[in-house]
Structure 1
């Protein structure tokens, strides 16, 4: 979702000078003017090798996990406690069908893969910055796969953003169907008991949730070797085979016992939600309702509680089941069992079709539009995954969660199965704004730029959902005065702090007010309470504060100044409200002149006590570890520091200190560590100085920390490297050499023994050879600082036997491997000549695939087809591997090594050698941290006969 219209550059100034209480080094005072050098856009946006990674486990791995040995724990721990929400029964409703009894859970793919996720983002814009927290009661961080891991805690940034809004977050325990690589062994490992009959896994689930700061687990158990097709089951067809290796009643009993033990140890602080899949008898039989077959996961035979809630499968709305009124019956059964019907979540799968998903809403609610159960949405991240632009994403978010009019007061129940009414039709807007301070900059948690006090200090893309602010409760409620037509949106082209603001735009008539209702609150006003708004408008305007009090009355309070085209902070005198409770916040906007293209931008809203002294400087800034790219031009740096003693701290900012004393913004975080990805080296400088600045809730910046120095490797001399399209050729064949030397090389010298032209200074030369034989190739790469060379001995073999294309030696060769997921992804699939089949193996790398060519041959090249060639995502392409050959299948020799492939197909050429066996050893299976290897085809090329 990257589009140039969101890139905002402040003129052509290299330096931006401002007095914002920041200093260029620790010796300066916080009151001195400082200069920013605008940070340039990053040219590398993939996580480097030392990027902290959010964890994921197979059961046996989690059973070995210990917090004391978890070196990455500090990066993966949430920093925001769960905020207390206003009691739902005290909340106002904005349409006739909103019901405080009903709850909403979102099973959302907050990151696109299970593995490779940075705990608090990196220097990329694209992230699922879901912000309609007001409509959900729980978020399930959906993840897990047979190729990566099954037990997945939420990332720290998702926990932080949810907790600010009072939303608990659950991790996922996912046992996939066999067709997706599921293994019953994993379930057995999960349900393992110790000698005393206890479940070690229950202890680990509790320990992980407490350590990382999230709120429980969602268990989705769908592994059963007998069940062949979820899709067939959805249509009512028989979905089992005749094998006797499936689930048993024992599995179901053990699962229920484990859940009980977990709940006993977790208490009320950690939840557990069960997915309607495995029945009490251990059958994979989705009920789509609360029935006698699955109720034992909520209450046992003695009516004692088991799990806290259940997510009902999606098929209750299908035509074949409609006459059974499954949700109505679930409501009735729940009441008989003493369970709240609203601890049942009627599942709707919106992953494929979003708001076009057909739903029989008359089965969800009765004729009075009262829901029978709560609502469960699977993959509402459809709004993000299906969008090409940020505008499309926000439009889909509005349609899904609010309605197609972006006004919750206009939500009405759908009378057809083809119209999506919006979640706001049934769900009350919730709020966790219950105490001071309340400060928001309306950030969504990402940006194409970063702004500080209205100045664009960085062009680096970024995402860090831990920095997402609490955004308006209502999207949107605007009462436009006669002739006015303001509409609201999130705007990434400008901001006061962070990466975006809220923009109200449209026609405005002179002195005619439009009022936007922003927040539901429960804030007690004290004698020290201060309220301010930072905003700007396209023309002279006023922004009055409208507060709703506990008794229902409203007070309109004028600001102490008017808005202009520049960011202006307006203060409001709320002393008259001392000892009163504010239940709602609105803004009343008026323009001094009629304007058909009027706009006002909201940058910051703050309700705080009296301003205190700026925070003290940060101490003990440390580089925990760092890594560099092969050329020493980019670094990945993990920083940590000691927390400042200031208890009203908002966040920390990380800077590079430039030679002239200016500073370049590198990122911000709400915790005491930061991963700096792809820091670019400044020319040939051998050192980069970094510092950290604390920022409090009043937007005051404290003194900068002492600087910490990153030392770069010496990369002045260029590295020589090359590839060649063919090493085994006939006399007269053209051979192409491709230069792969480091980018700082300025000239080259090639030496080709035995070629028709034995030297070249071209970057990528082509040569021919007249005589048969084997020949060396040397490349020297040069620049002003020196030179380095590489010689490949006996690289080129010239023989009349190599006329024309090389022979494919590996088609349908005998294969073996270190492992594979199932028979449909077996080793032989990598040599069947098809790009719709693959060899796939899971577990810890390295993974090996061995080909027996059947006899001694001459081998000189191996071509691989990776994940993207087979239609998967480019992130799944194999990154690093070694090719080995052997004549006897026992002693292998390395002939080729690839370190950093990104392409869908690859070609390794090497000196022609005799071999019967070829082995592929994959040590980095993907571009991310997914440990599953995916090879769609292996082509071994050469000659069928050996060469003397």
Structure 2
């Protein structure tokens, strides 16, 4: 344990130093149409006036009907069920240690609701190892209670990961005021805790999954601790009734003091019992974690409801961690893992070295390990990556299923292999259900490199690129699945060969592999090799039951290096196109800043795309979202037009698009 950990934490939490790209604060009423993620104080506001671009709000005064940005901030993707396939290595375990991830995706204030015009973003993709995501943030000068923005919740839910908002009561030395703690735990005349009800209502309206409560403002007493305990009990009761959850941070103790224990003990046991989980502060030792796990068992609780804090904010995979105290190799895991600020994988890169490919290379190293293949862990790597200890999960269980391998950010936007916007972007809600085990390659020869690539795509911002000397056939595991297969089931593969000669085969396994790390029992079906983007339909002739895995086998035909690109994969029984949205309208306009809203389309809708139809007949992509409201800024007349025309389409699960709804805006 680093003795300076508390110094690091306090320095960070003063403003939580969210190191995502700075977002310009509104400079005028025109820019104020831009919706941002929501944040509040419990009740009373600071004295003075807020800084530029900051809005002080009281949670006690919040009502969904009065929230002008709710339509932009509410998640629309339900939490998907997950399953655990056979592990890809002999060390990863199911049903033991879990992983919680505390991430600051952006600043507390001025964090755009629906992405922004930069590819420099923490586009988390390794959801398969995560059990709970905390939307970390908050500061005394902006707000203390944060609701996660919709793109993050949508992406997490698509992968079966619940997302918690953050309640942060900061240290006094960094602006924390004890009155805010008292505000949070105030009771009404009937003895109820109105802000507990309000927190549950916010999570329900915004579509996320509960709250992480971190009370670090010192100076309290036993009476305040009793109030906090009563608040937590009521919050947990209300949250459970609403299908939500609550995590407690090891900070305030039962006497009201802030004293980080680094263990489950008599000082914080009551708060653990009033929550679903507890994040154990970084002061833990091996002995403390062992005793904590035992104490949880004595309470009738799972030891894996304790997250042992692992601080990676400063050093990432170079952090010194006693892994055997948490996830030993030779016996049952002791407790679970709580990563503090794994967005280090982005933040440690130089400002001019944060292209998507560079970020994903670092993020893969963090989650998969130095080998970059979870089926082949590097035993000499001092960083025990999650893939080494924790079995991956998948949500690919229903037909139709499709993916264009969109990671949620990109340098351009592609549609049918063509660039329809050359502007960089991020919007995590557009992220696909991505392969959970990246990247497992089965080969007797040289292993090719497999990566998300941003130089070209079929749709969205990225594709999968396989490149290398294929001296032996190579099978790339793409998806672990539980997909029902009938006589009508077809797999559609959109792919392209960029260099070399390669024979492509679809691999489908109708059962689990013989053991951890073994190749699934694939059946191989031929796919035509092409040198330009093409979608090939492959009937699963002769296969019935449940598909457990889908992969690709590549065999070089001329012995030279190969570059092969996978742009899309779909599994369906019949084609499906959603109905068109209706009622497209502009709900607010100021200069070139416009807010749009519409009525939902019929059928299965994955997201909506908004285009501008220019006078010369070309279409320009403006953005996409899973919500039924959208903001576009900085627009203006083009090509001598007097009015701008916009088209909105629904995109289905199979990436088929509806007829457009249209609206015109006069300049």
Q: TM-score, normalised on structure 2?
A: 0.89
SS of the aligned residue for 2:198 comes to helix
Aligned twin of 2:486: 526
Q: 1:176 to 1:507 in 2, by over 3 A?
A: same
Aligned twin of 1:548: 509
Q: 1:45 to 1:662 in 2, by over 3 A?
A: farther
CA contact (8 A) 1:95 1:408 kept: no
CA contact (8 A) 1:170 1:215 kept: yes
Aligned twin of 2:82: 85
Distance 1:394 1:171 in 2: 25
Query: How far is the alpha carbon of 1:564 from its aligned partner?
Result: 1.9
Aligned twin of 2:455: 493
1:315 and 2:283 aligned? yes
Distance 1:350 1:648 in 2: 40
Between 1:166-175 and 1:47-56, the stretch displaced more is: 47-56
Query: How far is the alpha carbon of 1:547 from its aligned partner?
Result: 2.1
1:128 and 2:122 aligned? yes
Q: 1:367 to 1:586 in 2, by over 3 A?
A: closer
1:602 and 2:566 aligned? yes
Q: 1:384-783 to 2 correspondence within 5 Å? A: 384-387=346-349, 388-389=353-354, 390-411=356-377, 419-482=382-445, 484-509=446-471, 512-537=472-497, 538-550=499-511, 552=513, 554-559=521-526, 561-578=527-544, 580-596=545-561, 598-612=562-576, 614-628=577-591, 635-645=592-602, 647-682=603-638, 685-706=641-662, 708-712=663-667
Q: 1:132-211 to 2 correspondence within 5 Å? A: 132-211=126-205
Aligned twin of 1:54: 37
Distance 1:57 1:657 in 2: 39
CA contact (8 A) 2:401 2:654 kept: no
Distance 1:83 1:594 in 2: 43
Structure 1 residue runs of 5 or longer lacking an equivalent are 1-43, 225-245, 300-305, 629-634, 713-948
CA contact (8 A) 1:693 1:701 kept: yes
Aligned twin of 1:260: 233
Distance 2:660 2:302 in 1: 53
CA deviation map 1:468-493 (0-9, x unaligned): 011111111112343x4411111111
Aligned twin of 1:875: none
- How many positions carry a matched residue from both structures? 615
CA contact (8 A) 1:539 1:565 kept: no
1:219 and 2:180 aligned? no
Distance 2:98 2:502 in 1: 40
Distance 2:328 2:250 in 1: 23
CA deviation map 1:736-776 (0-9, x unaligned): xxxxxxxxxxxxxxxxxxxxxxxxxxxxxxxxxxxxxxxxx
Aligned twin of 1:719: none
CA contact (8 A) 2:494 2:569 kept: yes
SS of the aligned residue for 2:156 comes to helix
Distance 2:259 2:651 in 1: 54
CA contact (8 A) 1:412 1:421 kept: no
Higher strand share: 1
Q: 1:524 to 1:68 in 2, by over 3 A?
A: same
Q: 1:373-388 to 2 correspondence within 5 Å? A: 373-387=335-349, 388=353
CA deviation map 1:657-702 (0-9, x unaligned): 1213322221222232221122243265432111212232333332
Distance 2:67 2:78 in 1: 21
CA deviation map 1:364-398 (0-9, x unaligned): 24461532100000000111112232333222212
Distance 2:541 2:534 in 1: 22
1:270 and 2:244 aligned? yes
Distance 1:277 1:130 in 2: 28
CA deviation map 1:175-215 (0-9, x unaligned): 01111111101111101000011000111011011111100
SS of the aligned residue for 1:408 comes to coil
Distance 1:178 1:657 in 2: 54
Query: How far is the alpha carbon of 1:85 from its aligned partner?
Result: 0.6
1:72 and 2:52 aligned? no
Q: 1:6-25 to 2 correspondence within 5 Å? A: none
Q: 1:282 aligns with which of 233, 256, 268?
A: 256
CA contact (8 A) 1:159 1:169 kept: yes
Q: 1:114 aligns with which of 108, 111, 117?
A: 108
CA deviation map 1:51-102 (0-9, x unaligned): 111110000100111111112111110010000011x4x5434232434311
Query: How far is the alpha carbon of 1:331 from its aligned partner?
Result: 1.1
Q: 1:412 to 1:599 in 2, by over 3 A?
A: closer
Distance 1:122 1:675 in 2: 10
CA contact (8 A) 1:533 1:605 kept: yes
Distance 1:428 1:158 in 2: 23
Distance 1:478 1:274 in 2: 40
Q: 1:685 to 1:570 in 2, by over 3 A?
A: closer
Distance 1:343 1:257 in 2: 21
Q: 1:519 to 1:615 in 2, by over 3 A?
A: closer
Structure 2 residue runs of 5 or longer lacking an equivalent are 1-22, 44-57, 514-519
Distance 2:296 2:148 in 1: 30
CA contact (8 A) 2:512 2:548 kept: no
Query: How far is the alpha carbon of 1:570 from its aligned partner?
Result: 2.2
Distance 2:338 2:136 in 1: 13
Q: 1:600 to 1:497 in 2, by over 3 A?
A: same
Query: How far is the alpha carbon of 1:349 from its aligned partner?
Result: 0.9
Q: 1:802-841 to 2 correspondence within 5 Å? A: none
Distance 1:610 1:588 in 2: 25
Query: How far is the alpha carbon of 1:427 from its aligned partner?
Result: 1.0
The answer to which structure, 1 or 2, has the higher relative contact order (CA under 8 A, 6+ apart) is 2
Aligned twin of 1:249: 222
CA contact (8 A) 1:45 1:123 kept: no
The structure that has the greater radius of gyration is 1
CA contact (8 A) 1:414 1:421 kept: no
Q: 1:690 to 1:367 in 2, by over 3 A?
A: closer
CA contact (8 A) 1:107 1:380 kept: yes
Q: 1:659 to 1:339 in 2, by over 3 A?
A: same
Q: 1:607 to 1:45 in 2, by over 3 A?
A: farther
Distance 2:605 2:328 in 1: 49
Query: How far is the alpha carbon of 1:548 from its aligned partner?
Result: 2.3
